[in-house]
Amino acid sequence: MLNRTVSIVGAASGRGAKDHGCEAGPETLRRSDLATRLWRGGLDPIWEAIIPSEPDDDDIAAVRNLCAPLSQRVRSIVERSAFPLVLGGDHSCAIGTWSGVAAALRSRGPLGLIWIDAHMDAHTPCTTPSGALHGMPLATLLGHGEASLVALMEGHALAPQHVCVIGVRSFEPGEAELLSRLGVRVFPADEIDQRGLGEVMAEAHAIATRDTAGFGVTIDLDVVDPAEAPGVGSPVPWGLECAALAHALAAVSSDPKLIAAEIAEYNPAADTDNRTATVVADLATALFGAGKVRDDRRGIHELEWRYGAHNYDPLPVTLVRGEGVHVWDEHGRRYLDMMSAYSAVSHGHCHPRLTRVLAQQAGTLNVTSRAYRNDRLPILFERLCEVTGQEAVLPANTGLEAVEVALKAARKWGAKVKGVPQDEVEIIACDGNFHGRSIAIIAMSSEPQYRDGFGPYPPGFKRIPFGDADALERAITPNTVAFLVEPIQGEGGIIVPPAGYLARCAEICRRHDVLLICDEVQTGLGRTGRMLASQHEGVRPDGLILGKALGGGMLPVSAFLARRDVMDIFRPGDHGSTFGGNALAAAVALAAIDVLLEDRLPERAAELGEYFIRQLQAIESPLIREVRGLGLLIGVEFEAGPVTARLICEKLLEHGVLSKDTHHTVVRFAPPLIVTRAQIDEAVMALRTVLQELGGEEESAEALHELTFA
Ligand SMILES: Cc1ncc(COP(=O)(O)O)c(C=O)c1O
């Protein structure tokens, strides 16, 4: 089995074909279980990048603009002794992939290539009837065809005697003539029928390895029978069986001379039942000899994939234990938790006092429902009002539920107190908001993915730009009952509004008799350096939503808090929750607040957050666009490009640091508030190392910029 890191690079090539459907192939595969399956098979795959298709009126320029950076990226992977697996996109990406591999091997000797395809892909601009560039990549790699694409080979075209083609069953005479003239061995489908794929693959392997420095395999998925793999760019009837091809590939997979692989022409639009994505995973697994399950940690992964909804795409780590700022995976590897479950673990994992309170209360009284009183909840109510300046509390479980309560409170207050006709009340929210993903909440969202397929949305919501108080004033009408806002947008990318924004919003809301409701699920309870983020501007909102850290990193506990007159719109039966306010949750939340106060965690967040931001700002990298945040809620925004925030997070994970990407370009750091300076230094050092590994730290700035954004 392959003993090198597999670096997966997506090539979103769609401009080589008339139908651009393959452009979405890599992103769809990134979301599939491909990496999980390779991992289960004993490999350590990493999704390194997806090279985008740049807009250009000219198809040739578009293909060149994708293949040039792809070539450089593949070359750098081979040069650092990792194994590139390129996932297309239409097969025009092969020009980038194999020019990069050939360039990396150049000083060692020629590159051999096994081209597995229903087509020959050996057209030149003179022989093609369709003009489609995905019919030309093999000719290009052999030094024939469109000049600006051939130029990517930098004068080192592949030597025909080391190249062979397997599986051909659809071609034009011009292509066959070119390959035959050059001396490329072609194994058409009928020869495979006669001799068997195993024997053919053995001969192909000999061609690709004899007197070469190494060899690669490129697979156009249309070589497989469309009955098995319908989701391809240009399907051709009949074809190889996937299992037979996987078996033949497994025979060459153990050869250490195998340098790189490519699987192209995956078209998700035609893959309605995911069959073709499974074929991609089967073939990749076979190519790496990763058929066997490595140990039972695969079991956990498999179970999650098989039985769980696929509504998360977790980073590849399984955590089994936590203590303070650290967590451990099932192999005993320790990680620095720089995310603390989106602020829910502000106290650190398994805080000893909270663990004790939890255990004691769990053995005393847990859930009674609110059909009866329990002796913990009223004490929590009092403490919450003391620390927030609010007058009344309605307890819930998750953040989303408390937001729903806030919306209901605002609507009923608007209808019963302000006097807006019930069906006309309006609530204003902000672009880029995140308040959860219930039906009502996504009605306020500006994120297309949260909404797509989940309509119809309830009416009565409006959105305005975040950070623009004048926009709020303009948007308010006599029917406006509330303005719901996060003091700092968390999921939105750690967006800090201009100074004075919240105070101005509070003043505007007061003037128009509109409730200001602050969603401090993420920013509250010390995260930004004050107990509440709204306190930075001396604002006491009319309604306040808390969650996450209120559960001490152990339980879901949330609350809607408000002025007494607002809360008094609720009558018995208007709203409720079986678990909301249960004795166990209340006891833990009470202790969580006490720990925040006694250990001065908000003050700690202020001091260490300032330090953390300074250290991050000191990193000079052309990849970093901005470092921003308040307290220990910090976002590092990277330039858009092939180095995605997800890739940075995966690399940080390799270096023992947990972080989380948002919106493709932002990496979030929100460690437990008990983090130390030394631990912050460790995380910053890991980020520096990762940027260096990706070629984007200080001294190599210019070179990297060219590489990444060419
Ligand atoms: C500001 C904000 N509000 C609400 C929520 C929803 O909280 P939950 O996931 O507990 O429902 C979140 C979660 O990230 C949040 O950040």
Residue-by-residue DSSP string for 204-238: HHHHHHTT-SEEEEEEEGGGB-TTT---BSS--SS
Percent of the chain with pLDDT over 70: 96
Centre of ligand 1 to C-alpha 523, Å, is 10
Number of the ligand 1 atom closest to the C-alpha atom of 556: 10
Centre of ligand 1 to C-alpha 125, Å, is 55
Q: Which residue has the higher pLDDT, 305 or 647?
A: 647
pLDDT of 292: 47
CA gap 226, 248 in Å, rounded:
19
Tokens of 493: 């990318």
Amino acid 621 reads S
Centre of ligand 1 to C-alpha 180, Å, is 63
**Which residue ranges form the domains of the chain, and what is each CATH number?**
6-307 (3.40.800.10), 319-343+602-709 (3.90.1150.10), 366-598 (3.40.640.10)
How confident is residue 154, by pLDDT bands cut at 50, 70 and 90? confident
Asked whether 434 lines ligand 1 (CB < 6 A), one says yes
Asked whether 670 lines ligand 1 (CB < 6 A), one says no
Amino acid 23 reads E
Residue closest by Cα to atom 2 of ligand 1: 435
pLDDT of 1: 65
Number of the ligand 1 atom closest to the C-alpha atom of 400: 11
Asked whether 487 lines ligand 1 (CB < 6 A), one says no
DSSP state of 52: P
pLDDT of 705: 36
Contacting residues for 437 by C-beta, under 8 A, at least 6 apart = 400, 445, 450
Centre of ligand 1 to C-alpha 559, Å, is 12
Asked whether 228 lines ligand 1 (CB < 6 A), one says no
Res. 698: pLDDT tops 70: no
Answer yes or no: are the C-beta atoms of 659 and 332 closer than 8 Å. Answer: no
Residue 619: strand, helix, or coil = coil
Centre of ligand 1 to C-alpha 435, Å, is 5
pLDDT of 223: 97
Asked whether 252 lines ligand 1 (CB < 6 A), one says no
How confident is residue 329, by pLDDT bands cut at 50, 70 and 90? confident
Number of the ligand 1 atom closest to the C-alpha atom of 342: 14
Where b means 16+ CB within 10 Å and e means fewer, 301-318 reads: bbeeeeeeeeeeeeebbe
Number of the ligand 1 atom closest to the C-alpha atom of 490: 16
What's the maximum distance between 2 C-alpha atoms anywhere in the chain? 90
pLDDT of 22: 96
CA gap 256, 296 in Å, rounded:
27
Chain centre to alpha carbon of residue 52: 16
CA gap 429, 486 in Å, rounded:
9
How confident is residue 46, by pLDDT bands cut at 50, 70 and 90? confident
Query: In whole numbers, what is the pLDDT of the chain averaged over residues?
Result: 93
How confident is residue 699, by pLDDT bands cut at 50, 70 and 90? very low
Centre of ligand 1 to C-alpha 490, Å, is 9
Asked whether 493 lines ligand 1 (CB < 6 A), one says no
Residue closest by Cα to atom 8 of ligand 1: 399
CA gap 580, 557 in Å, rounded:
8
Answer yes or no: are the C-beta atoms of 12 and 51 closer than 8 Å. Answer: yes
Beta strand 326-329 with 334-337: parallel, antiparallel or unpaired?
A: antiparallel
Asked whether 560 lines ligand 1 (CB < 6 A), one says no
Centre of ligand 1 to C-alpha 268, Å, is 32
pLDDT of 294: 42
Asked whether 288 lines ligand 1 (CB < 6 A), one says no
Mean pLDDT lowest among 115-124, 184-193, 315-324, 360-369: 315-324
Asked whether 518 lines ligand 1 (CB < 6 A), one says no
Answer yes or no: are the C-beta atoms of 6 and 76 closer than 8 Å. Answer: no
Asked whether 171 lines ligand 1 (CB < 6 A), one says no
Centre of ligand 1 to C-alpha 494, Å, is 14
CA-based nearest residue to 589, from 552, 564, 559: 552
- Residue in the structure block whose two tokens are 């006694």: 598
Residue closest by Cα to atom 7 of ligand 1: 399
Burial tier of 498 (Cβ tally within 10 Å: 0-12, 13-18, 19+) = exposed
Res. 644: pLDDT tops 90: no
Q: Which residue has the higher pLDDT, 618 or 1?
A: 618
Angle between helices 197-209 and 242-253 (to 10 degrees): 40
Asked whether 265 lines ligand 1 (CB < 6 A), one says no
pLDDT of 443: 98
Beta strand 185-188 with 515-519: parallel, antiparallel or unpaired?
A: unpaired
pLDDT of 291: 58
pLDDT of 580: 98
pLDDT of 696: 64
Residue closest by Cα to atom 13 of ligand 1: 436
Express each pLDDT in 164-204 by its tens digit: 999 999 999 999 999 999 999 999 999 999 999 999 999 99
Express each pLDDT in 454-510 by its tens digit: 999 999 999 999 999 999 999 999 999 999 999 999 999 999 999 999 999 999 999
Tokens of 170: 């659809």
pTM: 0.64
CA-based nearest residue to 472, from 498, 425, 508: 508
CA gap 119, 139 in Å, rounded:
12
Return the number of other C-beta atoms located less than 10 Å from residue 504's C-beta.
Answer: 18
Answer yes or no: are the C-beta atoms of 389 and 562 closer than 8 Å. Answer: no
Asked whether 486 lines ligand 1 (CB < 6 A), one says yes
CA-based nearest residue to 233, from 42, 416, 17, 72: 17
Half-sphere exposure in the Cβ direction for 479 (13 Å, CA): 10
Beta strand 461-464 with 426-430: parallel, antiparallel or unpaired?
A: parallel
CA gap 658, 405 in Å, rounded:
32
From residue 347, how far is each of 178, 452, 550 by CA, in Å? Answer: 69, 36, 10
CA-based nearest residue to 261, from 216, 202, 208: 216
Active site positions, annotated: 434, 519, 548
Mutation pick for ligand 1 pocket among 404, 442, 494, 548 (CB with most ligand atoms within 8 Å): 548
How confident is residue 304, by pLDDT bands cut at 50, 70 and 90? confident
How confident is residue 206, by pLDDT bands cut at 50, 70 and 90? very high
CA gap 440, 459 in Å, rounded:
9
Asked whether 400 lines ligand 1 (CB < 6 A), one says yes
Residue closest by Cα to atom 4 of ligand 1: 435
Number of the ligand 1 atom closest to the C-alpha atom of 545: 3
* Best-predicted range by mean pLDDT (80-84, 669-673, 700-704): 669-673
CA gap 31, 393 in Å, rounded:
41
Centre of ligand 1 to C-alpha 429, Å, is 15
pLDDT of 417: 98
How confident is residue 47, by pLDDT bands cut at 50, 70 and 90? confident
